Amino acid sequence: MSTHKHAPVLLRAGCKINLGLSITGQREDRYHLIDSIFYPLQEPCDLLRLEEREGPATLTVHIEAQGIDPANNTLTRAWTVFAEQTGFACPLDVFLNKGIPWGAGLGGGSADAAALLRHLARRSLEAGIGVDDEALAAMASRVGADVPFFLWNRPMRVTGIGDVLEPVDLDLSDFFLVLVMPPMNVSTPWAYKNYDELKVGQRAKGRSKVTENSHSGLKALTDMIKVRKECLPIQSPVELINDLESVVFRRYPGLRNIKELLLDHGACTASMSGSGSSIFALFTDRAQAEAAAQALEWPVHISSLAGM
């Protein structure tokens, strides 16, 4: 499909943290079933500069980042899926500036894909091809399990393989976020594979246990928010269970040390996000949050969650 040239477009793609992550099973196709709360963040973010060009209807991604193949990534998959489903193939150069580390469990690649899908839906509408929310979500699911979440960008309970979304009423605007992003990349397939192997070993020794799901985690967070709004002290940290910590911390013990340091500095809760390597904590007091950040040797993002 031919298109007339448009001015360059700049897109921002935020990220997410997992407020707990329970692995509840595995499908026959080996995909894992999860139960988690995804909470969106505006920062850190990726910046995407989109430039339409003349020539064949292809997408070219320009990026210099470890672990990302410019020819095969979430952006190229999103563009391909959209073209196949709608017939709208917009020739694009995408210049991607990564502010969200790859392999950090923050969903940066999924957020990029969602941002591009929304842009393509707007452009296709100008060409007379309408795409409704349901169709866009179906395309997002084909790109990656976490991509549909970033279309809506609000707190969600996420189940299935990450594709079943249920909005939740969760307002963390009274808290300060400390997000620690160590310069290491944790492979999500590696984390799940080693989790499976660990569970097999534990079952053989009779030590397998069932962890809490997001229902109990959500209740604990809701209670924490209520206490904060009543200006009462939060007496003990909320424990958010992330099943993947057991294997990731084993290989990267420094991540466990980060979590423990954040809790020692008065965090209301601290956890690994997704399959890592990022670790986050919530604080009620900005001074405590800043003191914790200063005690860390790794890159740290600190912000108020007000307005997130």
Catalytic residue numbers? 16, 146
Beta strand 92-97 with 59-62 is: parallel
Tell me the angle at which helices 133-143 and 108-126 cross, rounded to the nearest 10 degrees.
140
DSSP assigned state of 183: S
Beta strand 269-272 with 279-283 is: antiparallel
Q: Output the DSSP codes for 230-247.
A: TT----SPPP--BTTHHH
Alpha-carbon span 140 to 154, nearest angstrom:
16
Alpha-carbon span 7 to 10, nearest angstrom:
10
Q: Output the DSSP codes for 83-140.
A: HHHHS----EEEEEE--SPTTSSS-HHHHHHHHHHHHHHHHHHHTT----HHHHHHHH
Provide the terminal-to-terminal Cα distance of the chain, rounded to the nearest Å. 38
